[in-house]
Amino acid sequence: MVIAPPFLYLDQVKKSIKADYKLSAQNCWIGKGGAFTGEIAAEMLADMDIPWVILGHSERRALCGETNQIVGTKVAYALSQGIKVIACIGETLPQRESGQMFSILEGQLQQIANNVDDWTKVVIAYEPVWAIGTGVVATPEQAEEVHAWVRQWVGKTVSPAVADKIRILYGGSVNDGNCAELAELEDVDGFLVGGASLKGESFVKICNAQKAAAKA
């Protein structure tokens, strides 16, 4: 399990979690630290021994104007500083309905792939933008379709060996009512959970869904 609290609480959470849980920042600066007031550099995360960072989240793409190229550059720099990356991809509802979904996802993936040398330090998180925080969740068929496509794309573009081992997470209104069905999908390797993580009992069920699916 990787926990990604807001920057302000990273140190507090770090002191309170068990050793087998890992910590992640929700974002980091695009390059070397410097006079960038208010930004958090990858060097700062490394200095605090924060092993993971989430990059390319749809909210940062939409609200902060982060392009595919910016996300790719961030991925490269974070990795260069020893920070492992949860790289997010996803399409909006108009992009899906217009038939652009796979070309949008390919553009996002390509910029990430262009900047990765060691794929053991990268996790891909698919988050359909239309399902984030809306209560609407992709059907199992929709989720598996995209996850399988991502794995095939990695196999063709990077290597079959990487495609076989890479973890692809689903993020988009995951809750205790749908996690079991989603966890059973062949190409879903875990979840990127937002609001549901704040509900204790529900979150425990989500966390255990993958283990339960493996035993089934």
Cα–Cα distance measured from residue 146 to residue 149, given in angstroms and rounded to the nearest whole number: 5
**Short-list 4, 25, 149, CA closest to 83:** 25
Residue with tokens 């849980």: 21
Burial of 149 (0-12, 13-18, 19+ CB in 10 A): middle
φ, ψ at 71 (rounded to 5°): -60, -45
**Residue 35, amino acid:** A
Q: How far apart are the first and last CA of the chain?
A: 21
Among 2, 33, 37, residue whose Cα is nearest residue 25: 2
127 counts as catalytic = yes
**Which amino acid does the sequence have at 5?**
P
Length of the chain: 216
Which residues make Cβ contacts (< 8 Å) with residue 147, sequence separation at least 6? Answer: 126, 168, 170, 185, 187, 188
CB atoms within 10 A of CB 152: 13
Residues with Cβ within 8 Å of 73's Cβ and at least 6 positions away in sequence, in order, are 30, 31, 115
Catalytic residue among 66, 91, 127, 144: 127
Is 147 noted as a catalytic residue in this protein? no
Q: Which residues are catalytic?
A: 57, 127
